Amino acid sequence: MSTTKNKTVSRRQIPSKYRAFRPRIVQLSARCFLKIFGWKVEGFVPSLDGNKNLILIAGPHTSNWDGIFGFAAILGLDAKISFFGKYSLFTKPLLGTFLKYMGGIPVDKSKPGKGLTDVAIANMKKLNGSLIAISPEGTRAKTAKMRSGFLRIASAVEGQIFLGAFDFGRKRIFLDTFYKPTGNFEQDLKWVREYFKQYQAKHPEKY
């Protein structure tokens, strides 16, 4: 366990290159939401030199509540994070507007020969020096193993992987660990999955 887990992250600690500079009322409202529910963000948010992307791998993902508290943390810290979502979600009037405001990038998987990972890589190559969030499970449902897409993405865009965990037992979002892939997908996926197992998911039976 890293000692940084005892350090609460504040918006002042967010590197300027990752700041969204949203209205103060939005930031305060999000922080109040987290406080009401008893949640905190602990650890640190690193800054990478140059145009290298910081890829935040968030988990364990078993509930929509992960996204709710995750979005609240993003707003409360005034962080500028890019993430990918199904194109259909962005076509819904209110939801689509909110997702784009939060940094969402719609991905259309309907094009022949283009999987989600390939489309994500193509979009991410346009992002330089960004903070990008990805869920390694890719779904809230229980899966036999993680998907390797985030490893392919990190390799393709020369991004550095940083882990973020939801712990519903302690009501914390932990940001504290870099991971350097070995090149062996099975070994890397096993390590990341074991890392997230130390935290209590909203629905542990789904992880």
Q: So what's the pLDDT on residue 102? A: 94
Take residue 144 and report the two structure tokens written for it.
């036999």
Q: What is the rounded average pLDDT of the residues 125-137? A: 78
Q: Are 174 and 164 in contact (CB under 8 A)?
A: yes
Whole-model pTM? Answer: 0.86
User: Could you read off the pLDDT of 68-118 as tens digits, one per residue?
Assistant: 999 999 999 999 998 888 888 899 999 999 999 999 988 876 765 566 677
Least confident range from 13-22, 70-79, 88-97, 127-136: namely 127-136
| Largest distance between two CA atoms of the chain | 47
pLDDT at 140 over 50: no
Ranges of each domain in the chain: 48-68+81-206
Q: Which residues pair with 133 in a beta bridge?
A: 56, 83
Dihedral sign for Cα atoms in the order 129, 192, 174, 200:
positive
